[in-house]
Chains A and B, each alone.
Chain A
Amino acid sequence: MVATARWDAVGTWCEVLTVEDDDLATAADVARAQTAGLDRACFVGSDSELGALAKGSPQLVSPLLAGGVAAALRTADFSGGLVGPGDGWQRVRLDTERCLLMVPEGVELDVCHSARAWLADRIADFCAEELGIGCLVNLGGNIAVRGAVPPGGWQVEIDDAEPGPEGRPVIPMDWSGGLATSSSVLGNWRTVTAAARSCEHAFAASHTAIGLGDGAPRWLTQRELPARLVHADGVVVHTNGWPRQRWIA
């Protein structure tokens, strides 16, 4: 049995799926509290904690904002600056242990996208490790899986924006880790979907790859990252270890 809860938060749709019906309410409560906290931290514009943050000196911030900023900085570093939270991010200073954040004057941080992926990991980790609940957490397509999975794995549809005549691919996600898709209208790749050991890594990989153009398959393969890349011309490239897939209409 698979149970599902869905609602809107953090600027997108959110889903929590559990293997056991009885676990859904608990896992969904955890996820709703966490997504509401991240909304307050950085998703409600100038009224958010990040929007109202004084700049130029270290400020005490909430653990959720500190975590979201830390994820954005890690993604920027991993991508060589290709996927950054805004101009000047290199001058941002963050003490994650003491939750002290210093944003220089003139720097506007946008950590929303990275923070979503990080929060999906955080929710799934808590449910699996603290509550013993096997679950899938999906925040706007950023997917984290931890603990027990249904027989055959979680069935995840890859939305390629323009499905072919055979329909859309579906993969079984039966590993503890993450899956994320990045899309582009003008770039060489229409979509890049990457699998990784965490949702945060999958997000960073897919967004970096889509910005790399034709060098993306090589970059992903060198890092042994399974990925599905759909070129603007329709060519599909699978990098090392991409799961077997089936098709649905």
Chain B
Amino acid sequence: MNSSSNDRGRVPAVRIAGVGLGMLGAVGGVAGWFTLAGGADPTPSSLSQTGGTAVAGASSIGHAAGPAHTRTGGS
């Protein structure tokens, strides 16, 4: 990637459109592979921007509180 840190705030419209169309195209896919029983986001799929304006269906705030017990990623 050649983008500077300032460029991270700008989301190319074509990129968002491409990802959005990809999710629309997923309708009718293979069912029943794995579904979380509880605490799941009610929005089927969503798209947002880190640290900026929500594009569509931004993530919601849950009820849990306190510090994290553990982490994934960044290892």
Q: A: which residues have CB within 8 A of B? A: 2, 4, 12-13, 15, 17, 136, 138, 140-143, 150, 152-166, 169-172, 174-175, 177, 179-181, 183, 186, 191, 193, 195-197, 201, 214-215, 217-218, 221-226, 230-246, 248
- Check A245–B71 contact: CB distance below 8 A: no
Chain B positions within 8 Å of A2 at CB level: 69
User: Which residue on chain A has the smallest CB distance to residue B23?
Assistant: A217
- Check B62–A234 contact: CB distance below 8 A: no
- Check B19–A234 contact: CB distance below 8 A: no
Chain A positions within 8 Å of B16 at CB level: 235
Chain B positions within 8 Å of A172 at CB level: 39, 62, 64
Interface centre among A156, A196, A224, A240, by most chain B C-beta atoms within 10 angstroms, is: A240
Interface centre among B1, B35, B57, B71, by most chain A C-beta atoms within 10 angstroms, is: B71
Bound complex: CA of A240 vs CA of B36, how far in Å? 9
- B34 to chain A: closest CB distance in Å? 5
Option from A156, A197, A225, A234 in Cβ contact (under 8 Å) with B70: A156
CB-CB under 8 A for A195 and B19, given A159-B71, A172-B64, A248-B67: no
- Check A197–B30 contact: CB distance below 8 A: no
Interface centre among A159, A161, A221, by most chain B C-beta atoms within 10 angstroms, is: A221
Option from A181, A196, A214, A221 in Cβ contact (under 8 Å) with B72: A181
Secondary structure at the B interface, as helix, strand, loop or mixed, is loop
- Check A15–B70 contact: CB distance below 8 A: yes
Bound complex: CA of A161 vs CA of B8, how far in Å? 14
* Binary per-residue interface labels of chain B (49-75) against chain A in the complex, 1 for a CB within 8 Å, 0 otherwise: 111100101011111111111111111
Q: Which of B29-57 contact A (CB under 8 A)?
A: 29-41, 43-52, 55, 57
CB-CB under 8 A for A217 and B40, given A164-B50, A244-B61: no
- Check A156–B29 contact: CB distance below 8 A: no
**What would 10 A/B residue contacts be, using CB atoms closer than 8 Å?**
A141-B75, A153-B64, A161-B73, A164-B51, A166-B50, A217-B19, A224-B29, A233-B3, A237-B46, A239-B23
- Check A174–B70 contact: CB distance below 8 A: no
CB-CB under 8 A for A174 and B71, given A217-B23, A234-B50, A245-B62: no
- Check A160–B73 contact: CB distance below 8 A: yes
- Check A152–B50 contact: CB distance below 8 A: no
Bound complex: CA of A142 vs CA of B22, how far in Å? 27
* Binary per-residue interface labels of chain B (1-37) against chain A in the complex, 1 for a CB within 8 Å, 0 otherwise: 1010001111110011011001101100111111111
- B26 to chain A: closest CB distance in Å? 4
Bound complex: CA of A141 vs CA of B68, how far in Å? 13
Given A218-B26, A242-B59, 11 other A-B residues pairs in contact with their CB atoms under 8 A: A156-B69, A162-B50, A164-B51, A166-B51, A172-B39, A174-B38, A181-B73, A226-B35, A235-B48, A241-B36, A242-B41
